[in-house]
Amino acid sequence: MGEEWGSSGFAGRIVLSAPTGSVAFCGPCRRNFDHGVYDHSAYYHSACWDDSGGRYAAPEEVMTHYVSHGRILTMNKNLQKNRVKSGARFYFPGKLGSGAEVRLPADTAHHAIRTLRLGVGDPIILFDGLGGEYEASICRIDRERVVARTGPFVDRSAEPPVKLVLAQGISSGERMDFTVQKAVELGIGVIQPLSTERSVVKLTPERAVRKTAHWRKLAVAACEQSGRNRLVEIAEPQRLTDWLSQLPREASSEELRLLLSPRTDNSFNKLTERASRVTLLVGPEGGLAPAEIATAQRWGFQSVRIGPRVLRTETAALAALAAIQVRWGDF
């Protein structure tokens, strides 16, 4: 990159060799300019960047000018690419080990190079869902194929001390997606979708398979985003009565079974039990039918409410999970 400065020191002529088809911009003055010559007026000029992933348009060096009392002070600065910090996390559906080269799944590879704009040498984190994670870096990119080399294993856990199970009446639209995503972020261990008497969504067997696969992908993405290294179990949808019949009739001494209901005076503040496992039952839009509530209570579920307000099903589930984390978890 060459620069020609006027006698006043305030007007500059900048010749930038930018990649064809890209648009560059000057960091300090935030002005965009195309490949070629740009008449530049500024008190100082720093690095010029292009729009192809945060790379410097200047290949090696840039001259930084600062105008003070009509004099131009010039300083050469060696530039380094603004590399992505370690933190881009990806789930790898296979057993990982240190010092191995692994090919990322197609969807993961596309997200890494097209959305995050990662390149060869960029550090990433890989985890296989079995606990812990591996430092890694991208070593090869061939079109849509991305190969990463794993480094040392890091024994890090983000799991809460209490095992959380959410038995959620299937809600409509994006509400169930939102519940799954945020429940994972809040530390849920198992999500059991339930078909209930008042469920608006009625799943055929084929649609249930597609929905379960979709929810599992959402859970994986939420684990990647939230720093969790163990995958959340998304169970196959069941009818509420069928699911209850598979549970032991009485909860163990370390398990607490809770049923959200606005028609009770019992609140989380009144719960005194100690628990290492909490199963939370939440109805869909419209809540659970009286007969379903009675059946759940025969299986050891006690009703509890979150304040005097009636909450939407997705709000109720997440608020209750947060309250459980405060009471028995790691909040």
Domain end, chosen from 109, 134, 154, is at 154
Is residue 247 pLDDT above 70, yes or no? yes
- At residue 233, the pLDDT reads 97
What is the Cα–Cα distance from 257 to 107, expressed in whole angstroms?
38
- What token pair was written down for 267? 């609140």
Share above pLDDT 70 across residues of the chain, in percent, rounded to a whole number: 74
- Residues 180 and 255 both lie in one domain: yes
Is residue 45 pLDDT above 60, yes or no? no
- Residues 176 and 294 both lie in one domain: yes
- Residues 261 and 136 both lie in one domain: no
- At residue 231, the pLDDT reads 97
User: 3-state DSSP call for residue 227?
Assistant: coil
Is residue 189, in this structure, part of any structural domain at all?
Answer: yes
- Residues 255 and 197 both lie in one domain: yes
- Residues 58 and 138 both lie in one domain: no
- Residues 175 and 321 both lie in one domain: yes
271-327 tens-digit pLDDT: 988 899 999 999 999 899 999 999 999 999 999 999 899 899 999 999 999 999 999
- What token pair was written down for 70? 């009509």
- Residues 318 and 195 both lie in one domain: yes
Q: How confident is the model at residue 3 (pLDDT cuts 50, 70, 90)?
A: very low
- Residues 38 and 187 both lie in one domain: no
Is residue 242 pLDDT above 60, yes or no? yes
114-143 tens-digit pLDDT: 999 999 999 999 999 999 999 999 999 998
Is residue 83, in this structure, part of any structural domain at all?
Answer: no
Domain end, chosen from 154, 178, 210, is at 154
- What token pair was written down for 251? 């909860």
Rama region for 302: left / alpha / beta (φ>0; ψ in -120 to 50; rest): beta
- At residue 74, the pLDDT reads 37
C-alpha to C-alpha distances, 317 to 52, 185, 244, nearest whole angstrom: 42, 13, 19
Give the CA radius of gyration of the chain: 28
DSSP 8-state code for residue 269? G
Is residue 214, in this structure, part of any structural domain at all?
Answer: yes
- What range does the domain containing 35 cover? 2-78
- Residues 189 and 101 both lie in one domain: no
- At residue 143, the pLDDT reads 84
- The residue among 70 and 144 whose pLDDT is bigger is 144
Looking at residues 43-47, what average pLDDT do you find?
A: 34
Is residue 76 pLDDT above 90, yes or no? no
Is residue 50, in this structure, part of any structural domain at all?
Answer: yes
- Residues 120 and 246 both lie in one domain: no
Mean pLDDT of the chain: 80
Q: Which residues contact 156 (CB under 8 A, 6 or more apart)?
A: 132, 133, 229
What is the Cα–Cα distance from 295 to 284, expressed in whole angstroms?
16
Looking at residues 159-179, what average pLDDT do you find?
A: 96
What is the Cα–Cα distance from 315 to 268, expressed in whole angstroms?
16
- What token pair was written down for 90? 């990806």
Is residue 100, in this structure, part of any structural domain at all?
Answer: yes
CATH number at residue 314: 3.40.1280.10
Is residue 256, in this structure, part of any structural domain at all?
Answer: yes
Give me the DSSP letters along 43-87.
SEE--EE-TTTS-BSSSSEEEEEEEETTEEEEEEEE----PPPTT
What is the Cα–Cα distance from 234 to 132, expressed in whole angstroms?
20
Is residue 84, in this structure, part of any structural domain at all?
Answer: no
Domain end, chosen from 78, 111, 138, is at 78
80-96 tens-digit pLDDT: 444 445 479 999 999 99
DSSP 8-state code for residue 112? I
Number of domains in the chain: 3
CATH number at residue 141: 2.40.240.20
- Residues 298 and 167 both lie in one domain: yes
Is residue 23, in this structure, part of any structural domain at all?
Answer: yes
The residue among 107, 114, 127, 112 whose CA lies nearest residue 223 is 127
Helical segments of the chain, H only = 106-110, 175-185, 205-226, 240-245, 290-298, 313-328
Share above pLDDT 90 across residues of the chain, in percent, rounded to a whole number: 67
User: 3-state DSSP call for residue 273?
Assistant: coil
- Residues 110 and 198 both lie in one domain: no
What is the Cα–Cα distance from 50 to 24, expressed in whole angstroms?
4
Q: What angle do CA 311, 281, 159 make, to 5 degrees?
A: 100
